[in-house]
Chain A
Amino acid sequence: MSKTALVVDDSPTMRQMVAFTLTNAGFNVVEAEHGKDAVNKVIAGPKMDIVVTDLNMPEMDGIGLIKELRKMAAFKFTPILMLTTESAIEKKQAGKEAGATGWIVKPFNPEVMLKIIAKVLPA
């Protein structure tokens, strides 16, 4: 059975590129424009196997989203990857403290992203 990924980014082109990468690898993809949109979609939608989220977004940023998701029982152990242009160590630390599983700096290499996902997804 296909796994489902939640892709959160305020840039439609970035969502499209991540969705393209994951769809090609056999994932079902649910897209959200920002943290709040993502929270609404996970409440109403299917179970997510992995989350790939941007950091800087309107309404609710990536750190806020991770904190919200980690409060939900269904997301306690779900891998959450941050995908952002931000590479500052203090930001990465904030992501780690919020509960991110990993941090990928844009521009992402699709092959590298898929390897990381394979590594963090439970067998």
Chain B
Amino acid sequence: MRDAQGFVSQTTACNEVSDLVGLKAHQQAWESFAACAVSMIPVLKKQMEAVTQQTQRAATDLMTHISALTLQEAPSRSTETSARLSQIVMAMQFQDITQQKLEHVAQALDQWDKHLQALLKGPQDENAKQEIATLEQLEQSYTMEEERRLHVATLAPDYQEPVPIDTEQTEAESDSVTLF
């Protein structure tokens, strides 16, 4: 027969064991997630690199064909044709811009990978803290105003799809040239 005190102690011990089992399961779940993420990050990066290479090949081919079609008639080209060619060249730059954006995402994935690997080795040490600090400074790796704006907008609590688009063309053009 147990007294009230003994019953309470036993209940507390049971709760502690249950908490420990829960924590262990939680830790195992995190470790599985981290291990999976560490193995998947290089795959995601390769997928992005493949997209970049394919679009680069396509853009290069297109420019080669456009050059071949238009170079001979350059001196006699009409104003309208010149304007249309300018629009084509502007539009074709999507490849370089997309490539740079994907490279910045890849850099962030690298940091994430390093941080997860450091966490998998044990409690958060100085290395892991440094990696997460670098990840938090992701914004500094951006080169485009559009990337910075999207980053800030996505972190905002009231963020909603669709993704914010670039500023009006007129504003973008007025800021695009600076002579010193």
Q: Which of B60, B144, B173, B175 contacts A86 (CB under 8 A)?
A: B144
Residues of chain B within 8 A (CB-CB) of A84 are 143
Contact A116 B177 (CB under 8 A): yes
Q: Is B111 an interface residue (CB 8 A)?
A: no
Residues of chain B within 8 A (CB-CB) of A87 are 144-145, 175-176
Q: Which residues of B contact A (CB under 8 A)?
A: 56, 59-60, 63-64, 66-67, 70-71, 74, 82-83, 85-86, 89-90, 92-97, 99-100, 143-145, 173, 175-180
Other than the given A85-B97, A109-B86, 13 more pairs (CB < 8 A) read A14-B96, A16-B63, A23-B67, A24-B85, A56-B143, A85-B100, A85-B143, A85-B144, A87-B175, A88-B145, A102-B178, A108-B89, A112-B173
Residues of chain A within 8 A (CB-CB) of B64 are 16
Residues of chain B within 8 A (CB-CB) of A103 are 177-180
Residues of chain B within 8 A (CB-CB) of A5 are none
Report the minimum CB–CB distance from B87 to chain A (whole Å): 9
Complex Cα–Cα for A104 and B93 (A): 14
Interface centre among B82, B96, B145 (most CB of A within 10 A): B96
Contact B93 A102 (CB under 8 A): no
Contact A102 B179 (CB under 8 A): yes
Complex Cα–Cα for A92 and B94 (A): 22
Q: Which of A95, A107, A112 contacts B97 (CB under 8 A)?
A: A107
Contact A108 B90 (CB under 8 A): yes
Contact A13 B63 (CB under 8 A): yes
Contact B90 A110 (CB under 8 A): yes
Contact A106 B97 (CB under 8 A): yes
Q: Is A51 an interface residue (CB 8 A)?
A: no
